[in-house]
Each structure stands twice: as structure tokens, then as C-alpha cells.
Amino acid sequence: MPELSAGVGLRSERGPVLLSQMLATGLVALDSTIIATASTSIAKDLGHFQLLPWLFSVYLLAQAVAVPIYGRLADLLGRKNTLLFGIGLFLLGSILCGAAWSMPVLIGARVIQGLGAGAVLPVSMTITADLYTLQERAKVQGYLASVWAIASVVGPTLGGVFAQLGIWRWIFWINLPLGAIAVVMLWRSYHETKHPDAKREKIDYLGALLLSGGTTALLLGLLEGGSGWSWASATSIGIFLASAVLLAAFVYVELRIEHPIFSLAVLRRRVVAASTIASLMIGVVVLGLSTYVPIYAQNVLGFGALIAGLALAALTIGWPAAASQAGRIYLRWGFRVTSVIGALLVTFGAALMLMLGAHSSIWLVALFCFVVGAGMGFAAVPSLIAAQASAAWHERGVITGTNMFGRSMGSAIGVAIFGAIVNSRVTLNAAGVPEGAGLASAMHLVFAGVFIVSIVLFVAVLFLPGHRTAAAQTDASDADAAIPA
């Protein structure tokens, strides 16, 4: 475990490591905001609009399956090596995405990119949890939130510009210089030694295989059902049945294996279960809106990719703006109060989005997105840190990975469900672009789904600990105690 040093900030002894984490986080932050505004242009160039949700779903699915593996590897093999490998794989996927000549090839490259992204965010956050105390993390969160704030403006804007200029491939190639700098900074600045609690354990590859197979079948059934084949067809029934069997086998294996890829045991802790469910719902909301707000702005309201990107930017600006202040609130009022405030804002913003129609103002879209984003900033940060603070060093990677797994899986399943809704409602013109009143109706159903999910989020955060005292004691002593249920 690295030695702790005094001071919080980029000029402190830990500053170079913090900067490397900011750069690594920037990879995922930029990727999550830049592609959405260019998705329509990608579909026009490569065709197959109906496959568009797969660009997001396969990336998120690969990320979700990889997260618990990397969480385990980070505890076993060290944070640094795991993160460097993840960044390298992410950059390889970015190169292949930029060179893709068809939608299926692009989707395959997104799988590789997602496998790399599965390491970047959770391992970076685990390193941050190792280096900083609970009180310090409230300040560090401001630095990490600034990365998302910058990406929230730069990402959608660049995506819109690249789309309008017809050079959408640069949304992937732009990752290369940022990733290279992150690798150099991490290699030079972060030095870790083996922690006394670290243990050599086997990796549950069978669990990973069953999980990836079951969730892939589920996404395939959701995205192609009603469009590729009838919902009641033998193909559809067979795919969902196969998914159920594989996922049931996954649960069976995880409950009996000594070192599971996804520890169902940690979900017995109320704080971890509540945090994971909240993260799952946040994933559904953020990717649902990130995917379909630009499509709504361009294909329903009739704006260009750049304006659509700015509307989406409001969502991603609200998140880091709120996240930067969340630390102060949960240090004073506790994790539950902070998260409840966030969940209420998400629910309120989602309810407002139900008012949007075929002739709504783009400024209203941006305002409502900002409210939802602010709510997610207040809800996501304390729910994750509450779970981290309940864990000892040797399981912190697993706890962080479990939370990130929930968000990634929620995003993948959410995009798949919303994609199935949209594909069942829209008609494509000769250029392969959706048109007609069916798209406006489909967007309303997407917003209704986001509202329902926001209510589940609100219920989940009610089960977070009301005070931070127990978490702070656990964090300070690095013991195996958990926040009381």
C-alpha cells in the first residue's frame, strides 16, 4: 500500500498521482459524452440505425463484466498494473473504432474498448480510496468532478462538431493522446508496495463466462425482439430461455465458489446492496438520456448535432457541479440525506421531461437535463463512498467494482430496453434515419421509463446509512467492520 503524505491537491506530494487519476478518468468521461451526439451521423455513414443501441450496449456489457474481474485483480495484483493494462486495452479499442468500415465492425471494436474501460474508472477510484481518508476524499472529489465538468462541455461539443464536419472517427482517435499522457503520469508517479492484507486468489473465469453469456443473450432478445423477429417467435423465446438458464447457472456458481467474480455475499450488507441498486438505476438514467436526448433533439425537434450536443452537455454539467459539493453535504448531514436530495432532483427532472413534445424548446430540454444531472451528482458520490468506507483494504476493490458493475449493467440493460421501445415504434426512411410521429411517441416512452427508474432510485437511497460516523471509523482503522444495518 502506498505511503500517505500530507496535503490534498495537485501541488501536494500525492498531486502527480491525483493528476494521473484525473487523466485516466478523463478517458471514460470524454468517451461517455462525445459519442452520443455523433451517433446519428455514424448511422448515416455506416447504415443500420436499428443497430445503434448496440454501440452503447456492447460497450457497457463488456465494461460491466470486466469491472468485477478488474476489481479482484486490483486487490490481488496491484492497482497500478491493472489500471495500465485497462488503459492500454481501451486505447487499442479506440484505434479499431476509428478505423471501422461497417457498423458490425464498429460494434466489435466497442467490445474491446469496453473491456478496457472496465478497469479505468473503478481502479482509479480504488486508488483514490487508498490514498485519501474519508474527509480528504470530499475535497479530492472536487478535482475528479472537474474532469467530468470539462468533459461534459468538451465532449458533446466536439462530438457535434466532428459529426457536422463528417469526421466522426476523431471521437475515438482523440482518446490516444490523452491516454498516452495518463500512462506516462501513472507509470512515473504512482509507486505501490504489497499490502499485508493482499492474498493470492484464483480468478472466477467461469462466472465471468456465464455472466457475459447470459447478459448478452438478454440484450440480444431485448434489442432484436419485435424488429429482428417477433416477440412470440421460437427464436425470441429460446434466447430469453437461454439467458435465464445461463444467469441461473451464474448465481449457482457464485454462491458456491470460494472467490466469486461477483461477490453476492457483500450484497448482504445493507449499505452495499443499497449503493449497488442506486448505481444500477443511475446507470439506466444516464445512458438512457445520453443516448436518446441527442436523437430527440435532432430527429424530433430538428436541430443539428452541435445544438443537440449542447443540450446533452447540460446533463453532464449538472452531474459534476453537484458532485463537487456533495462531499461537503455528506460530511455534515450524512450519506442518506445527500443521496435523498439527489434522488428527489432526478425524479423532479424526469417528471419535467414528460412534458416535452414534438415542438418543445431546446432550452427546456437543456434545463430539465441539468436538473436530472445535478440529482445524479448528489446521489452517485455519497452512495459509492459509503460502500467504500464500509470495506477493509483487501476488499475495497471488490466493493468499488460491485458498485461500478451495477452502473454499467444498468446502463447496458437500460439502453437495450429503451432501444427495443424505440425500434418497435419508428420507421426508417431511405437513408436509414428514423422519421414520423412514431419517433416522438417513442421518445415520450423513454422519458416515462426514466421517471419510473428515478422512483426506484429514491427508494434505494433511503437504505443508505443516516450518518457517516461508523464509516469514518472504518475508513480510519481499515478494519473489517461494516456500517451498521
| Whether residue 412 has pLDDT greater than 90 | no
For the stretch 432-435, contacts whose Cβ atoms lie closer than 8 Å and that sit 24 or more positions apart, written own/partner, are 432/43, 432/44, 432/47, 432/48, 432/49, 433/40, 433/43, 433/44, 433/49, 433/299, 434/49, 434/295, 434/299, 435/299
Classify 185 as helix, strand or coil.
Answer: helix
Rg (CA), the chain: 21
Please say if the pLDDT value at position 51 is more than 50. Answer: yes
For the ranges 238-242, 266-270, 307-311, the maximum mean pLDDT occurs at: 238-242
Distance of CA 14 to the CA centre of its chain: 26
> In Å, how far are 339, 372, 429, 434 from 359, measured between CA atoms?
34, 21, 21, 17
Between 447 and 133, residue with greater pLDDT: 447
Helix (H) or strand (E) holding 158: helix 134-165
**H or E element: which one contains 441?**
helix 437-461
Which of 7-16, 71-80, 429-438 has the highest average model confidence (pLDDT)? 71-80
pLDDT of residue 152: 65
**Given this model, what pLDDT does residue 191 score?**
73
Asked which of 264-268, 363-367, 434-438 is least confident by mean pLDDT, the reply is 434-438
Query: What's the whole-number mean pLDDT along residues 269-274?
Result: 82
- 312: closest CA among 295, 334, 328, 324? 295
- 34 vs 396: which has the higher pLDDT: 34
- Number of residues assigned to the chain: 485
Please state, in angstroms and rounded to a whole number, the distance separating the CA atoms of residues 15 and 28: 20
Please state whether 152 falls in left (phi above 0), alpha (psi between -120 and 50) or beta.
alpha
Which carries the bigger pLDDT value, residue 292 or residue 125? 292
Contact yes or no for 91/178 (Cβ under 8 A): no
Say what the pLDDT of residue 157 is.
75
Q: Is the pLDDT of residue 262 over 50?
A: yes
Q: What's the pLDDT score for residue 371? A: 93
Q: How many CA atoms lie within 13 A of 102 on its CB side?
A: 3
Alpha-carbon gap, residue 235 to 249, rounded angstroms: 21
**How far apart are the C-alpha atoms of 94 and 316, rounded to whole Å?**
22
Q: Model confidence over 144-192: pLDDT tens digits?
A: 767 766 776 677 777 777 877 778 888 888 888 888 888 888 888 777 6
Average pLDDT over the chain reads 77
Q: What is the pLDDT of residue 475?
A: 40
Question: Is 60:412 a contact under the CB 8 Å cutoff?
Answer: yes
CA distance 116 to 124: 13
The predicted-structure confidence for 102-149, as pLDDT tens digits, reads as follows 888 888 888 899 888 888 877 877 777 777 776 676 677 667 767 766
Query: Which of 12-21, 169-178, 196-205 has the weakest average pLDDT?
Result: 196-205
Residue 451 has pLDDT above 50, yes or no: yes
CA dist., res. 111 & res. 99, Å (int): 14
- Mean pLDDT value of segment 435-446: 77
* Mean pLDDT in residue range 201-213: 78
Whether the pLDDT of residue 281 is over 70: the answer is yes
The percentage of the chain sitting over the pLDDT mark of 70, rounded to a whole number, equals: 80
Residue scoring higher pLDDT (291 or 449): 449
Q: Residue 467: what pLDDT?
A: 60
Number of Cβ atoms within 10 Å of the Cβ of 212: 17
Question: In this prediction, what percent of the chain has a pLDDT beyond 90?
Answer: 10
Q: What distances in angstroms separate CA 222 from CA 229, 239, 411, one per listed residue? A: 11, 10, 14
- What is the reported pLDDT for 244? 92
CA distance 397 to 67: 10
Question: What pLDDT score does 438 carry?
Answer: 73
Longest dimension (CA), the chain: 64
With residue 372 as reference, give the H or E element that holds it.
Answer: helix 362-389
Q: Which of 182-186, 210-214, 317-321, 354-358 has the lowest mean pLDDT?
A: 317-321
Give the 3-state secondary structure of residue 189: helix
C-alpha cell at 64: 460491466
| pLDDT for the residue numbered 391 | 65
